Structure 1
Amino acid sequence: MFIELSITILVLYIFWRWHINSILDGLKSLKGPESYPFIGSLVICYPVSNLLARIGQMCDIYGQTYKMTIPWTAGIVTIDLDLVEFILTSQATINKSILYIFLKEWLGDGLLLSKSAKWRLRRKTITPTFHFKVLDQFVHVFNKNNQILVQQLQKSIDKQNGDGVVNIAHFVTLAAMDNIVETAMGTSMNSQLNDQSDYVWATKFMTANVYDHIVNPITYLKATYIFTPTYWKERKALKILKNYTMSLIKTKREALSNHNNTITENIHSDTDINLDDEHFGIKKKTAFLDLLLQTTIDGKPLSDEDIMEEVDTFMFEGHDTVSAAISFTLFCIAQHPGVQSKIIEEQRSIFANEPDRDVTSEDLKDMHYLEMVIKEGLRLYPSVPGIARNVCEDFHYKDIHVRKGTTICIPIFKIHKDPANFNDPEMFMPERFLPTEQSTRHAFAFLPFSAGHRNCIGQRFAMMEMKATISKVCRHFELGMTNPPHKCILPSAIVLMSTNGVNITMKRRIW
């Protein structure tokens, strides 16, 4: 047994060394941290809570582009904006990195993970479901759930005699869950009123677990992973998520089939009727799932599995990312009274003496200053702090030869805080996003929604939800800092989050 194990390890090491060397051979001109057998340069990931800072420090030590190895592969990390632009717009780097493989069991070949040809077809097929006319119809969902958010926040404040400390991330995360479930699936989760939902737990667990996979070599092989308690929690979470989505798909497909059969029967009768949804007692739905059920590729409808991949992808990409952006933006607003005053001034110009009025899509378009505030919040706290691509064909850039199979990491958080891109990068200044200011910057200096071919298809949806929620909160509450000021602890994760909450003070605003 010992001999067999030793031979296996030796063979794996030889293969690892050959693969790594073939990639590193073209990166000789680059510097980088030391590499160790099997784990590569993974030692810089520990402690995990310090990884974001460590990767940024490596740029300062080794330059804008440096090389490093990770288990089973090697690659480069770059904040060189010209190279970043090439990577995000080139067909040679259109596929996502192997690092995303740990999302595969949950998201399958959905839009986030699908490769080249399949991705292009899916993107073309799904893009119409994000048309502005469809998105505008989601505003009523935001209004309903944001009203509940305000009520829940007020209850929390009342328990503290009207002026207390609130972990805004907790409340916003639940509101965002309700928004994404209703807009994606057309059903109500009511997470804000029942935060013990299994689906809520499963979504949070799967999102947080992805990064643990990346930095823990034990989880790379199923043979060792199955002996960890995390594996069995993952199986439980996946079962909850997939069962919920699939049962909803089957129910809605059956309802759609019955609806279509009813229409066909009436078409073949002599009765003169109005063939619309309301006639048959069916309220027209525009949820993402409903649209996918009616989508075809080459005349064929998407399978249940295809639809589940895209719905789950929308859930993953549109929940924690949006809730993180809202929470950190409110945190920034609480720290800057001057910014908060300008937001309220803009809100008063829109809502006049009706602060409780539901927001409309036209109102959201008029919130120009609030949009700059949100963008500055995303600059300081990008919801997705880094992205990675896989090289599918060799290419040259300056004096480096990037081989097929190379992983390229783009640390967005570092780009956003690079003094070469933003003056006084640690300062919160929404005016950076005035049109005149933006025109002077490199087009790839600000990447909260990625960029290029695989930019975030839901970024307009996200901006609408962020505006609607922050507008509602600011119209009803004055935000302030805790004493002493709360400092967020930001461990490395696939989606930025604070392990100690996002605490601010809130009190009812006198409009």
Structure 2
Amino acid sequence: MILLVLFTLVVAYAANFLYKKWKVYRLLVDNFKTPPRHPIFGTLTIFRGTAPEIFKTFQSLFGKYGKNFVLTRPILDAQIVISDAKDVEAILTNPNTKKARKASGYQTLEPWLGTGLLTAYGDKWFTRRKIITPSFHFSILDGFVDVMSKQSDILIKHLTSMATKGEVDIYPIVNAFALDVICETSMGVTVNAQSDPNSEYVTSVKKMSRAVQERLHHPLGETGLYNLTSKGQYLKTLTNILHDFTDKVIGERRDQLLSNTKIGQGSRMNFLDILLHATAGGKPLTNADIREEVDTFMFEGHDTTASGIAFTLYLLSRHPDVQEKLYQELKNAFGSKDQMEITNKNISGLEYLDMVIKESLRMFPPVPGIGRQLMEDTLIGGVTVPAGVNLILSIYRMQHDPTNYPDPEKFDPERFSSQSDSKRTFAYVPFSAGGRNCIGQKFALLDLKTVIAKVIMNFKLLPGPEVILQGDLILKASNGIRIRLKQR
């Protein structure tokens, strides 16, 4: 009798759950255009082939189904893809920032990142954002630029040794540079990724990026069952390696603090030092709290920065007129390459460099799309969409939409001149926007400007093959980002 009652309750719960999902599913597919749907797998069947082919297919859907459309998955799951700037603005500028939540797919990052600033929501997100914001104050960035400049000089030495070897895939090289910068500024440690790319930590970071991408594309990726697969076990091994490294660094720095050992001076403090001095509710952050934020900073500031740098150099190599104009601006500002003394103030004042980087981030946004889960009913495209629905905000498409940017495939830094009357607003969001925008965007731009300036002052860039894009969490090129270098 008891088993019959339990069985009845389970069936009733499942039926109610599926009925509610069916109502939302019907609302979305009846009010938004959607590609042809398989009765079981939904629209997943249209995304076949290699990563570049999937990216190309996804971009083609906007031409067929408009700025906003619906994609479906098994068990009545439907999500809205949005590239209408007005709808994106309404979502990102929701004044109730505490209720903003990332899409469910971001949960695949939690074993590594926990619920740090990227994945947190509610009071925890609000508290952490308040704690971390001072880390990117102008005075702190002044200290960070010294690290960026030093690591840029190491990069220049590596590139000099490759200048006579023909085409160079610039991405892995600047990826190592970005890892060196992020480790020193976030944890105060030197991992020597540029000099020792085969160390356990460096290789584990690179492997983790690939492993996370694989999980996102796996049928069980968003379920706990993934942990039982061989790839899930591999991901767990990498996570343990990275956590052990971060835990060791945090423990050592905290011990220094407790023993009154000097760990930083004013603006030269790193991200970890700032977190060690921070309190929440009158209490210091635990080591686990700090690890979440350090790992998140590592994840968000590493591959994204490398993508931005590599694609900017790629575009400059293919547009010699833009490259020459930038070189002249840098030469006027710094004199010769041997006289370059970069500060936050002087690098931020270079208008054409700023325009070049902004246009590069428009054409090749390091994060091609972001996800949100509605926490309240929201008007999208004239339809009231209920809470709980997942959204994909397509940054790449918005920034390539000809209604937002005429001739969008043309690399034209003048779009971002102070005299331009181009209306960008929420059609340009490479760092997201609103209350949950990228907290490290000033850091990222400073990093990009420092290394781009050093490279252009030292080398004339010549073009290699055209890139073949693939859009995972981070925008990359499946065939590498290849250029040629000629010393100036």
- Normalising by structure 2, what TM-score? 0.92
Partners of 1:365 and 1:202 lie apart in 2 by 34
Matched, 1:307 2:290: yes
Residues 423-453 of structure 1: CA distance to partner in whole angstroms, max 9, x if unpaired?
Answer: 110000000111232x531410111101111
- Relative distance call for 1:155 and 1:215 in structure 2 (3 A) is same
Name which of 334, 345, 370 aligns with 2:353. 370
Deviation, structure 1 residue 13: 9.2
**Unpaired segments of 5 or more residues in structure 2?**
1-10
Partners of 2:225 and 2:380 lie apart in 1 by 39
Letter in 2 for 1:418: D
Equivalent residues, number: 473
- Relative distance call for 1:239 and 1:501 in structure 2 (3 A) is same
Letter in 2 for 1:219: G
Q: In the TM superposition, what are the counterparts of 1:352-501 in structure 2 within 5 Å? A: 352-353=335-336, 355-437=338-420, 439-482=421-464, 486-501=465-480
Moved over 4 A (4+): 10-17, 281-285
- Kindly indicate whether the alpha-carbon contact (under 8 Å) linking 1:207 and 1:494 is maintained by their aligned counterparts in 2: no
Letter in 2 for 1:70: R
Residues 456-486 of structure 1: CA distance to partner in whole angstroms, max 9, x if unpaired?
Answer: 000000000000000000100110013xxx1
Deviation, structure 1 residue 61: 1.2
Residues 350-396 of structure 1: CA distance to partner in whole angstroms, max 9, x if unpaired?
Answer: 11245442312222122210111111111111100001100111123
Residues 145-190 of structure 1: CA distance to partner in whole angstroms, max 9, x if unpaired?
Answer: 11110101111224x3xxx221111211111100000000001011
Q: Partner residue of 1:257?
A: 258
Q: In the TM superposition, what are the counterparts of 1:198-237 in structure 2 within 5 Å? A: 198-223=200-225, 225-227=227-229, 229-237=230-238
Q: Partner residue of 1:264?
A: none
Partners of 1:386 and 1:475 lie apart in 2 by 33
Deviation, structure 1 residue 487: 2.1
Residues 284-341 of structure 1: CA distance to partner in whole angstroms, max 9, x if unpaired?
Answer: 6511001100011121111111100000000000000001000000000000010011
- Relative distance call for 1:16 and 1:68 in structure 2 (3 A) is farther
Partners of 1:476 and 1:108 lie apart in 2 by 41
Q: Secondary structure at the match of 2:259?
A: helix
Deviation, structure 1 residue 192: 0.5
- Relative distance call for 1:388 and 1:452 in structure 2 (3 A) is same
Letter in 1 for 2:446: M
What do you get for the CA RMSD once the two structures are aligned? 2.2
- Kindly indicate whether the alpha-carbon contact (under 8 Å) linking 2:80 and 2:390 is maintained by their aligned counterparts in 1: yes
- Relative distance call for 1:490 and 1:251 in structure 2 (3 A) is same
Higher deviation after alignment, 16-25 or 492-501: 16-25
Deviation, structure 1 residue 37: 5.4
Deviation, structure 1 residue 207: 2.3
Partners of 1:165 and 1:396 lie apart in 2 by 50
Partners of 2:454 and 2:275 lie apart in 1 by 31
Identity %: 36
Partners of 1:501 and 1:98 lie apart in 2 by 30
Partners of 1:184 and 1:78 lie apart in 2 by 34
Q: Partner residue of 1:347?
A: 330
- Kindly indicate whether the alpha-carbon contact (under 8 Å) linking 1:375 and 1:430 is maintained by their aligned counterparts in 2: yes
Name which of 99, 106, 116 aligns with 1:100. 106
Q: Secondary structure at the match of 2:312?
A: helix
Partners of 2:72 and 2:152 lie apart in 1 by 45
- Kindly indicate whether the alpha-carbon contact (under 8 Å) linking 1:143 and 1:359 is maintained by their aligned counterparts in 2: yes
Q: Secondary structure at the match of 2:407?
A: coil
Q: Partner residue of 1:70?
A: 73
- Relative distance call for 1:372 and 1:457 in structure 2 (3 A) is same
Deviation, structure 1 residue 33: 1.8
Q: In the TM superposition, what are the counterparts of 1:40-119 in structure 2 within 5 Å? A: 40-47=42-49, 48-71=51-74, 73-90=77-94, 91=96, 94-119=100-125
Deviation, structure 1 residue 63: 1.6
- Kindly indicate whether the alpha-carbon contact (under 8 Å) linking 1:208 and 1:493 is maintained by their aligned counterparts in 2: no
Higher deviation after alignment, 343-352 or 29-38: 29-38
Partners of 1:497 and 1:112 lie apart in 2 by 21
Letter in 1 for 2:476: M
- Normalising by structure 1, what TM-score? 0.88
Partners of 1:224 and 1:346 lie apart in 2 by 52
**Unpaired segments of 5 or more residues in structure 1?**
1-9, 261-276
